[in-house]
Each structure stands twice: as structure tokens, then as C-alpha cells.
Amino acid sequence: MRRNKGLMISAIALAGAFALSGCTDSGASTPSAAPVEEVTFDEGTTMAALNEAGEITIGTKFDQPLFGLKGPDGDPVGFDVEIGKLIASKLGIEASGITWTETVSANREPFIQNGDVDLVVATYTINDARKEVVSFAGPYYEAGQDLLVLAGNEADIAGPEDLADKKVCTVSGSTSEKNIAAYTTNVIATDTYSNCLGPLRSGEVDAVTTDNVILAGLADQNAGEFEVVGNPFTAEPYGIGLAKDDTEFRNFINDVLEEAYEDGTWAEAWEATAGSVLETPEPPAVDRY
């Protein structure tokens, strides 16, 4: 249980904390760190250990425009990063106390299981198979799988049903790789989505597939080269990965998310990052399983 020593920070103060301070390559602005609260936690909880250490290690993507993209100073920027900062601030940890670790789709579960990270906030779809080995807080956003094609879409790809005789690129170990297998087995899998862009440019593949928000970021970062088909065919709830069965920590993060939904902090973070390209959605209800 969290106990505030001082006054609760008002919604106005929290919103002000997301004043803009710089831009990513895609034109999205990066909000400043949320104010750190003076808090204490029940002894023996993950929250107490992190608060006492004043440090947290968070895994995120480093190649996902709008969500997690490595910035000029070496730290990632984007919506996932802001969610990580928000959680850290509610643990009483300054932004300077966050160590950002690059996680790709294939290593997110091992990093959590091995204790290499305390959290993963990395366009991380919640699904039953992953729940077998890690726990999830959230979701904090719901995306949908779509297709990225060359600008002009000369291959006339309208959806996954058009891929039977075409080559598709995605990331190994991702939910997208599993989903697209229902439509084609002619798949090239790599370690990052950015590595799919070269094959798409050269014609080695006809499309790239992953969540629509990731594809929108890639298209925005490479203006005029690509376009998103705009026909999502799955629902992908993004969650925050943490150690299996750490129920107290999971409940704490869910409380943080719900507070951010209510006081506008979540919307401020979205609008300063992914909102430079995408409409502001309604936040999803967290899952209290």
C-alpha cells in the first residue's frame, strides 16, 4: 500500500509537468518528467525496495517512433517512455534514477524473468501465453495489427487476405508474427521493425506487419516513402510486463494508470508524443485479474 507523506499533487500540477521540452525526429514533443512524490510503502514490497534504492530499470523499445525511439542523448523518447517515467515518479524515483534497457520482442519475457529489468513498457501485447511466465498491469493502450506498404500501394494490398502470394516482414517472437501466419507462411522475420524497411524499399517484401501505431510512427519518420493500409485486423492491448505473481506491484501500477486517466496525465503524455501523428484515444480499462 502506498502512503503519501505530503499533499497529493493536483491534476493541474501534473499536467504542467508535461510541458514540452524538445522534439523527436518524427516531430513529436517530449514532455518533461512528472514531479516525484514523497511516498512510503509497506515493507517487503517491490515498491518499497525500488523506492529505497531510488532507482529502477525499465525495458523499452529503442526503434519505435512515437512510443520508444532512442533520442540524441542516448535515452529513448515516446509514449511508452512517458508511461515508465510516470510509474517511476509515483515510486518516488527521479527520472535520473531510471536506467533504460533496450528490449526487443524476443527478449522481453527473459529480461523480466531473469531480473534484468523491473518493468517492460515496450508495445507489449498482453496475451495468455505470456501470462504464463510474466504478469501484466494495464492495458494502457489498445492497438490493432495492420500493414505498411510502399507509398501508392501499387501492389493493391487492402488487408491480410491479399498476402497469400506476397512476402511480408515482421519481427521474430512478436504477436504480429503469430497472427500473420494465419494468412501467409511467406514471412521474413527479423529482430526489429526498422530492419523491415530496407526489404520493403527494395521489393524483397511487399508489406511489413505489426501494430498500426508502430507502422504509423515508421511512416511518419520516413515521410513520403510508405503508407499504412488502414485496415486493422486484430486487437492488441498493450500492457506493462513485470515479474510473475507480483500482485501488489501490479495493483500499484494499475492504480497509477487509473489516476493518470482521471487527472489528464495520460492524455498529456499521449498528445506530447504519439499524438503528434495519431488521434487521442479513450484510455482502456485496466484488467484487475
pLDDT at 289: 80
> Does residue 105 register a pLDDT over 60?
yes
pLDDT in tens, 24-55: 444 445 565 566 768 899 999 999 999 999 99
Confidence bin at 87 (pLDDT 50/70/90): very high
pTM over 0.75: yes
Instruction: Output b/e per residue, 76-102; b: 16+ Cβ within 10 A.
Output: bbbbbbbbbbbbbbbbbbeeebbebbb
The distance in angstroms from the start CA to the end CA of the chain is 18
Q: Which DSSP category does 133 fall into? A: T
Cis? peptide before 139, omega within 30° of 0: yes
62 pLDDT tier (thresholds 50, 70, 90): very high
Across 263-267, average pLDDT: 97
